[in-house]
Each structure stands twice: as C-alpha cells, then as structure tokens.
Structure 1
Amino acid sequence: MPTKREYALFEITPEIEHFAQLCEDNNAIDKELYTKYEVKRGLRDVNGKGVLAGLTNISDVCATKIEDGKEVPCAGNLYYRGYNIKDLVQGFLKDEHYGFEEIAYLLLFGELPNEKELSMFHETLVERRTLPPTFVRDVIMKAPSRDMMNSLSRSILNLYTYDAKADDTSIPNVLRQCLNLISQFPMLMVYGYHAYNYRMGDDLFIYAPSPELSTAENILMMLREDRKYTKLEAKILDMALVLHMDHGGGNNSTFTTHVVTSSGTDTYSTIAAAMASLKGPKHGGANIKVTQMFEDMKEKLSDWEDKDEVRKYLNDLLEKKAFDKKGLIYGMGHAIYSVSDPRADIFKVFVKQLAKEKGCEKEYALYEMVEHMAPEVIAEKRKIYKGVNANVDFYSGLVYSMLDLPPSLYTPIFAAARIVGWSAHRLEELKNVDKIIRPAYKPLAAHRDYIRMEDR
C-alpha cells in the first residue's frame, strides 16, 4: 500500500493550496502596466506582428503585401528557402514521389537536390534508421509514458548517453546528430506508443523500418499490426510532414531552439526543449484540441447539417459554456495569417479526397461549415485586430483521425516533421550567432530591507 508520503506526491494537499494562494497573490501584475511600459506580450504588438529577434534564410511566412505604400493583409504564403510551399507540393506530386526527403534536403542544405543528391541523402537517412543495441528494451520499454511527447523527449535525452561526441557543437557533428534524430524519430515515436499499449495489456509488435519505404510509409507500416496502408494514405501523411516541417524562426518551438542553442548546449537537450514547447495546446497540441472539440460538438448536436444548431454551439464555445469552457474555437486564427493559411488550403483539397475514400463526407461537411461560420461568429463576439481563418491544425486532426492514427500521436507526428526545421535553425544559429539570447524584463517589485525572523 502507498504510504501517506507517497500519496502526497500526487495530491494537492492543504499545504500546497496555501502556498498556491501565495503564488496567486504575489505574482499578479496589473495588465495596464504592460501598456504603460510598452511591453510586447508574447513578443508581439497589438496587431500580432512579432518583435524582430533574428534573421533567417530557412523559411518565410507572408501574410501581408504593400498597396499604395501601406501594409495590408493578403492570402497567406509560406516559403521554404525562397520556394513557395504550393509550388514545392505541386512539384513532387507531379513527379509522383514522396516529398519529405526532398524538402528536408532543401531546408537543411539550402538547395533542391538533383536525383543523385536525393538518392545519396535518402541512403544517408536509411542507414541511420537504427537505435543503439538494447535501447528499445532499456529505455523505451521501461516506464513507458501515457504522453508520447514526454516519452519521446526522454528517449532523445537518453540518446545523449550513447553519443561519445554528445557535447561537440561543431557543424559537422551537429549535422550528424540531427540526421540521426530525423531518421530515428519515427521509431522512437511508434515504439513508444506500442510500449505503452503493451503495458496496458495489448499485444506487442515492433517492426523495423524498411529501407525501400519513405518516412511516411514507414510510419504507417510500423504503426499497423498488418503493416498495410493505401497509397493515398501515405501520400497525405507525407504531405502533412512537408507542411509542418518549418514555419519561420519565430514560432514558439523554433524560437526555443534558437534560445537554447545560443546557450551552447548539446543537440539532444536542444531538441528536447523544442519538444517541450511543441507539446503545449497553444502550439503543436492544438490539433488534438480541434478533434476533441468536434467530438464534443457531434455529441451535442442533434443534426450536424443544421446551421442554427452549429452556430449556437460556436457561440457557446466563445461564451465558455461548451467543451473545455476556455472561450476558444480551436483551429481558428493564427498569429500571422489573417486571410488564409496556405497549409490549410493545400491540405483541404486532399482531405476531401480522403474523406470520400473513408466514407467520412458528412464529417468533412461539418468541418467545412464550421470553417466558414466561425470567423463570422468570432467577429460578432470579439474585438479582433486582424482577420480570423482556419489554420493547418483545423484539418490536420481530421486527417489523422481518418488515417486511424491514435490521438496520442497527433503532436508527435507534428514533431517528426518539425525536427527537420529545428535542425536547420540550430545549424543556422551555430553558424551565425555567438551571443546568448537574453531579452529584458522590467522589475516592478520595490526594494525592501531584510526583516529578521523574530520581527516578522
């Protein structure tokens, strides 16, 4: 039987309640002071424009254009190394090959590969699709976590122990480490998932990745007991990986990568820190929230096609009466895009195809209705400084559910893509910047004299 002391580790005791109240009372800052001192909360101004904190060649997120000398919102565009993401996707679809490896090459090395270069890069990734001997047994199978992001972070940190040059931050060594992690990530993710399910009583099956398959194909093959998947399923998962691969230097997890890299720490610690950031529901965890929100919506609505019912539910969300009562319509709005998210635009075309293949047309129609209705409802309820549109998370959750991917892997799949961008940004930071990132915080507490215990 657990002792009283052991129970205390996992309970909010009266003592913790007392200390928590002190935290509440002594950490509150008057919101008007942020305006008074011109603090850019979230490192963004009131219009959502980010504070310039660095320079990058890796990707560019565009949501405005200049008209008559003024900056105005426009349809969003995303560029990888100067190439429009829409052109890149059309390119590898037209050539009828998977895009993950080609676009990873572009982000890491700055140019699109020719056939010989892509083949060499693919072979390099294939030979690194392996884990240290007994790693699965000694790390992944021991104390598996119900949260796959935590499981992945632990595995990544443990890989440090097996690397004789773990702390070497030279460009060749960091590139070696990054290529290892990019190649190993699908195994760490899928094996961690199977290990937890095995601990919960399910059968255990661990498949080695196949050298002939793409990254997306291997994920589906290793995940499914029968190893089967359709070409459309693999193509859409591959596209999801490409669309999530990078998104400028200022998104939370990539900025974390820059911040932690600037301290001079090792690659494994850096990627684990980025993982911790991506796990948050305001960042990579948003697609799970979208799916959960729609499940709640479908449960509450008597008729999915009734626009009035849907509108009422959306109003209830904003008024904190529905779902998690946070006042948010998940999947709507973006820090930069105000007219459209190009990733969502690309995704949507293929989501419709997948919905038809899976017999989920009715569910897709509900998503489409919410996509069109939500901006109107938000505009009626809230003062907004820029437009509101569906972001990539709005449809990615639906895609993953139609692919029969478990919700616990939604954010890890995001990470399996974004680790390429993190790697590129880490290499860029190491090459160009030798200063630790340290923004300023204005202290508000008045200076006080120490009071001896007997006088308190």
Structure 2
Amino acid sequence: MSFLTLHRLAPKLLNSKVRRREPHDNLKDVLADLIPKEQTRIKNFKQQYGKTNIGQITVDMVYGGMRGMKGLVYETSVLDPEEGIRFRGYSIPECQKLLPKAPGGEEPLPEGLFWLLITGQIPTEEQVNWVSKEWAKRAALPSHVVTMLDNFPTNLHPMSQFSAAITALNSESSFARAYSEGVHKSKYWEVREDLQTITKGPWSGKTVTCVSCNFLLMMLFFNTSDHEGGNVSAHTSHLVGSALSDPYLSFSAAMNGLAGPLHGLANQEVLVWLTALQKELGGEVSDERMRDYIWNTLKSGRVVPGYGHAVLRKTDPRYTCQREFALKHLPNDPMFKLVAQLYKIVPNVLLEQGKAKNPWPNVDAHSGVLLQYYGMTEMNYYTVLFGVSRALGVLAQLVWSRALGFPLERPKSMSTEGLMGLVGTKSG
C-alpha cells in the first residue's frame, strides 16, 4: 500500500449524501459575523489587561523544552492536566453526544468537528452537509502530485511522502496568489485556501455507516484532531503560519514534527513493544507474571511506552474513549486483553516506583491495537492517519490566527552564559 493508494481507495469505502445548501449554512458567512465580534473582544481585553503578569519563567523551564510556559494563544482546544481535552469547551463525550453523525453511525462526522473547532458552535446537519459539499469539490489531487507520489521509492516512509505531497500542493495555494497580488491583511482569513487544505486527506467530505468506519472516524477525530497549541505539530503549524507561509507549507511543517518518535510515531512504538511482550510471555499470563515483566523493564532503564503524558495527570480521555469502543466491539481480542491487563497493572507499578508524575495511559497505549484489529497492519501508515486528523485543529486555528492578526512568532533565546548572568551567577 502507498499513501496514494490510501487516497484513492478511501472514497470507495466511504459514502456521502449532501443536501442543498441554505444561506445560513455557509461557513464563511458565519465566520464573517463572528470574527469582528472576536476582534473587538480581544482588543478590549488587551487594552485593559495587556500588561498583566500571568506567570513566571524559571531556568528549568528554559532548559526543559519551555514546558509550562504560558506563551501561546490557541483558541480551538484546551488541555487541562486533570480534566483532559476540551474542544471549544466541549469534552470528548459531549462531542460524541452532540455532534451530527452519519445515518446509522455512532461517531461524529469530521465536518461537524471542524465546524465546532472553527466557530465554537455545535453545527446543524445542514451546516455539516455544506462543509461536506465544499470539501468534496476540492478533494482531487493535481496530476503533478500524483506523479511525484508514484515515483517515490517504496522504502520512503509514508510520513515523508505525506509531507512532500502537501508541500507540492503549494502550487494550488490561493492564499499565496492573493498575497502576491496585495490582498489586504484584514482579508487574509477569507482566502478559501485556509479551509480547503484539509480536503486533500483520504476521507474528505465522506460519511460512513459501518462499524469499522465508525472506528475510523473515532480514531481520526478524537485521537489527534486537536490537542491545544503547545504540542510539536500544532505549535509548528502556528510558528510557520506566523511567517504568513500558506496553509500547505504550514501543515507540511507540522507533519514533519508529527513524524518524530516522541510525537506521532509513539503509538507505533507501543505496538512494537506489545508485540514483543506477547511473543516473550506467550498467550494469557497471570497478573503477577505481568507485574514482574513490567518491573524488569523499568529496572533495565527502559520505560513502559504509552504511559505518562507531558500535561495530563489522569488517564487520557482519548484512551478511555477507545477502551469503551473496544469493550463494545472487540472484547475478546488478545491484544486488547493485553492492553486492558496492562491498564490494571502498570499504573500501580509506576506509583510504587515513585518516579512518574503521571502513571496513567495516554492515547498511544491503545490506538495501535485498534488499528491493527481493523486490518491496518502496516504500522508506518498509522501516523499518516493521525496527520490527516491533525489537519482539523491546526487549520481551524490558522484561520483565527490570520483573522486576529497574530504577529510573527519570535521568542527571545539566551545562551547559558546569558542565563547565568541573568540570575546573578558566574560561569563555572
């Protein structure tokens, strides 16, 4: 399978029904009403509180990857350490309940989540259908991108193919053309490119009814669709977009970050680890034997992949969502049973060890097993699916970054000597 094959096959697996558009269903019209109000609200807020101190920066934060620093505005989602992710104020269970679904489907449609991320409003079925129609009109790949994908060597990682293809789509950038023609900065958000980069994904504009496709929707839209702005891929798209790079370039940069083993490749690493565990221990094993295996892993200086999170201090709500799906649809799958057994044992071991700030599983502890169960056995493609999902959040935020006139992102860097001088300590 190639990335191009994935793009070509998906429309055959998915089916859509689009209704006639009503004037109030047009997303651009809705944004045209929302944006001036939000511009005024933020302008007033900055005038009154612009000089207010909202936190302190420590030397540990500077050396520790800027974790915990409040230094970025990201409107579409918020990640709370105790509560988990909220999309425009809605939790994952609330989104599952409130967002429109395909006929016979159980999981929200991508068009509905995208509408929510952009507008902050739960869409109607008509509004979702309008988005579906707009996406479908723009789903085709230009011939030069198809040729490029066909000519890539078979050993080129799918994420590299994905990123390169997105970059090559820059030839279609209406934003880049409008900017070169001198469009006013107040109109940057109106360029339809900001809303259509997402449509080049393999599922664009389609709705589904079968259980396996309900699974695909759940995986795509609640796995990595949005996870506030500080993670590598979201922050990268924001940073590159702040240079007024067009959405294709911004999203491609984000995908290069997502391709890293500490970010989007993590679930692939979890599945490799689970497979090795299963091979070594055999079939069903006792909790005590599993506990010994986990302790031996930790004592050897290794970690238990899929456990812990940079922000969360509880079980990842996305893990919980996937666990509930598995309990319903594949309760007897051996790999799911293994994941469930680890969920019962690993947190207590990590708590006993006393080193982990968060001993609970994250989304990567579960997602690979579900993908494998539904026949997606080529692990190198897992991150591509998550990358398609990530387009929802980062492109929705890009629209608002342009609408609110966010400036070029340019934090101040310092040398170790400079930091030492800042805190009054001499080097050495």
Shift of 1:434: 3.9
Partner residue in 1 for 2:277: 297
Instruction: For CA contacts below 8 A with separation 6 or more, give which structure has more relative contact order.
Output: 2
The yes-or-no answer on 1:235 pairing with 2:214 is yes
TM superposition shift of 1:91 = 3.0
Is the CA contact 2:309–2:362 (under 8 Å) kept in the aligned structure 1? yes
Partner secondary structure for residue 250 of structure 2: helix
Q: For 1:186, what is the secondary structure of its paired residue?
A: coil
Partner of 1:279: 259
Q: What is the CA-CA distance between 1:439 and the residue it aligns to?
A: 2.2
Q: Matched residues in 2 for 1:147 and 1:176: separation?
A: 30
In 1, Cα distance between equivalents of 2:174 and 2:59: 51
Aligned to 2:75: 57
- Per-residue CA deviations over 1:128-181 (Å, capped at 9, x if unaligned) read 111113531x21101245311100111011111244653546656775224332
- State yes or no: 1:124 paired with 2:134: yes
Q: Determine if the alignment matches structure 1 residue 344 to structure 2 residue 319.
A: yes
Alpha-carbon distance in structure 1 between the residues aligned to 2:174 and 2:194: 15
Q: 1:282 to 1:37 in 2, by over 3 A?
A: closer
Measured in 1, the distance between the counterparts of 2:174 and 2:96 equals 39
Corresponding residue for 2:3?
Answer: none
Spell out the pairing of 1:131-210 with structure 2 (5 A cutoff): 131-136=141-146, 138-144=147-153, 145-163=155-173, 165-166=175-176, 168=178, 176-186=192-202
Q: How does 1:52-451 map to 2 (within 5 A)?
A: 52-64=70-82, 76-92=83-99, 96-97=104-105, 98-136=108-146, 138-144=147-153, 145-163=155-173, 165-166=175-176, 168=178, 176-186=192-202, 213-214=206-207, 217=208, 231-243=210-222, 244-320=224-300, 327-356=302-331, 360=333, 362-384=334-356, 386-405=357-376, 406-444=378-416
Amino acid of the structure 1 residue aligned with 2:158: M
Change beyond 3 A, Cα 1:164–1:60: closer
Structure 1 pair 436–404 and aligned structure 2 pair: CA distance change class (3 A): same
SS for the counterpart of 2:358 is coil
SS at match of 1:333: coil
Shift of 1:302: 3.4
Question: What do the CA deviations read for 1:159-211 (whole angstroms, capped 9, x no partner)?
Answer: 11244653546656775224332111227xxxxxxxxxxxxxxxxxxxxx8x7
Q: Quick one: distance in 2 between partners of 1:119 and 1:86?
A: 22
Q: Aligned residues, how many?
A: 350
- Report the AA paired with residue 123 of structure 1: K
Specify the code of the residue in structure 2 equivalent to 1:176.
R
* Coordinate RMSD, CA, aligned: 2.6
- Conserved 8 A contact 2:99-2:123: no
Taking structure 1 as reference, are residues 329 and 242 closer, same or farther at Cα in structure 2, changes over 3 Å only?
same
Letter of the structure 2 residue corresponding to residue 58 of structure 1:
T
Question: Does structure 2 retain, via aligned residues, the 8 Å contact 1:241–1:417?
Answer: yes
Unaligned runs of 5+ residues in structure 1 are 1-33, 45-49, 65-75, 188-208, 218-229, 322-326, 447-456
Higher mean displacement: 289-298 or 436-445: 436-445
Query: 1:333·1:391 contact (CA, 8 Å) conserved in 2?
Result: yes
CA distance in 1, matches of 2:131, 2:188: 15
Q: Identity of paired residues, percent?
A: 25
Tell me the alpha carbon deviations over residues 415-451 of structure 1, each in whole angstroms, 9 at most, x when there is no partner: 11111111012122222244322223321369xxxxx
Q: TM-score, normalized by length of structure 1?
A: 0.70
Q: Deviations over 1:27-65 (max 9, x none)?
A: xxxxxxx98676351212xxxxx210122331122234x
Conservation of the 8 A alpha-carbon contact between 1:303 and 1:309: no
| Per-residue deviation, 1:264 | 2.2
Inter-CA distance 266–296: structure 2 relative to 1 (3 Å threshold) = same
CA distance in 2, matches of 1:143, 1:36: 45
Give the distance between the partners of 1:274 and 1:334, measured in 2 at CA. Answer: 20
Do 1:60 and 1:247's aligned partners in 2 also have CA atoms closer than 8 Å? yes
3-state SS, counterpart of residue 81 of structure 2: strand
Q: What per-residue deviation string (whole Å, max 9, x for no partner) do you get for residues 363-393 of structure 1?
A: 2221111112112222233423x33211111
Comparing 235-244 and 103-112, the one that deviates more: 103-112
Residue in structure 1 matching 2:65, options 42, 53, 59: 42
Partner SS, residue 330 of structure 2: helix
Q: Quickly say closer, same or farther: Cα 1:431–1:101, change in 2 above 3 A.
A: same
The alpha carbon displacement at 1:283 in A equals: 1.1
Label 1:104 to 1:35 Cα distance change in 2 as closer, same or farther (>3 A): closer
SS across alignment from 1:166: helix
Alpha-carbon spacing, 1:117–1:382, altered in 2? closer, same or farther (3 Å): same
**3-state SS of paired residue (1:79):** strand
Asked if structure 2 preserves the Cα contact closer than 8 Å seen for 1:262 and 1:436, the reply is yes
